[in-house]
Amino acid sequence: MSFSEVKPRHVLCLLGGERPFSHLCEMIQSAIDDFALGFEIDYTFSEDAPDDRMPISFEVCRDRVKKGAWTEADEEAVSDHRSVIYVLGPPMTAEDAVKHSVIALRLVAHTLDNGIVAAKGESAGVAHGVERWKELARDAEGQTGAALARPCRLAFAKRPIGTDEHLYSIGFHLVGIPEVYAPKTLSDDELALSALIDTVADEVFSDGVETVLKHRGAQLLPVDAYDEDEFKYNPFGAIHLAS
């Protein structure tokens, strides 16, 4: 089910190190031509210069759920970056989102092996350290179905985001499923609620949305936290768990 005709797409933010900007762009374009057709470098916003907004942006977006996902070395790499390259993915449907997300994950890992020093998924605002990105890419290798969707979701979705009433996810649209909203009345432990959000997402892939809604007494509602023209907007809605 979709609440909108909007099709999600990946926006990747890649920070360059010592390797020249032109060489990095050539490397990324070569990878796109090789295995990431439909992706494109956004030259409008990419720049051959450091961006002083990046340290605070990566600090806000870094993965705080997976222990060790972000290190001092990653922080230093962001502080010392010399260029910024944005890559746009193709518009995705629920049916082909995982396929494109595994390509995006493979592309990130490839660039980190070839001169990119830090990466962030802008479509959900999530950053991992270099080794965590590569670990997730390895986890996706040779997988299919739910086992393939999981590392893609962990790579490109952020959780938990908080309101007064809920902790919730951003970015599940990048694997073609609704977000999950968990009421804080279920637990005062943010990591426990993050685990619950992940469990429900896994259930969606194994059992389907309708079965999860029935089993958990949940509701599927449209996402109103973002406008349709924002990359974080999820056209597939959000599963609101019962208190």
Which residues lie below 8 Å from residue 221, measured CB to CB, with a gap of 6+?
237, 238, 240
What does the alpha-carbon distance between residue 202 and residue 215 come to, in Å, rounded to a whole number?
A: 14
The pLDDT-based confidence of 1 (bands split at 50, 70, 90) is: confident
- Please check whether residue 5 lies inside any domain of the structure: no
Both 30 and 133 in one domain: the answer is yes
Per-residue pLDDT for 77 more than 90? Answer: yes
What's the rounded mean pLDDT across residues 46-74?
97
- Please check whether residue 109 lies inside any domain of the structure: yes
Q: Judging by beta carbons within 10 Å of its beta carbon (0-12, 13-18, 19+), is residue 64 exposed, middle or buried? A: middle
Which of 119, 150, 181 is the C-terminal boundary of a domain? 150
- Please check whether residue 2 lies inside any domain of the structure: no
Which of 131, 150, 169 is the C-terminal boundary of a domain? 150
What's the rounded mean pLDDT across residues 139-159?
97
- Please check whether residue 220 lies inside any domain of the structure: yes
Confirm if 14 and 119 have CB atoms less than 8 A apart.
yes
- Please check whether residue 1 lies inside any domain of the structure: no
Res 142: pLDDT:
96
> Is the pTM here over 0.85, yes or no?
yes
Res 123: pLDDT:
98
Residue pLDDT, tens place only, 171-181: 999 999 999 99
- Please check whether residue 26 lies inside any domain of the structure: yes
The whole-chain average pLDDT of the chain stands at 97
Both 135 and 227 in one domain: the answer is no
Domain ranges, residue 165: 160-240
The structural domain count of the chain equals 2
Both 145 and 165 in one domain: the answer is no
Q: How large a percentage of the chain has pLDDT more than 70?
A: 100
The pLDDT-based confidence of 49 (bands split at 50, 70, 90) is: very high
Which of 128, 150, 172 is the C-terminal boundary of a domain? 150
Residue 17 corresponds to which tokens in the numbers above?
């190190």
Both 136 and 206 in one domain: the answer is no
Residue pLDDT, tens place only, 12-24: 999 999 999 999 9
What does the alpha-carbon distance between residue 47 and residue 78 come to, in Å, rounded to a whole number?
A: 15
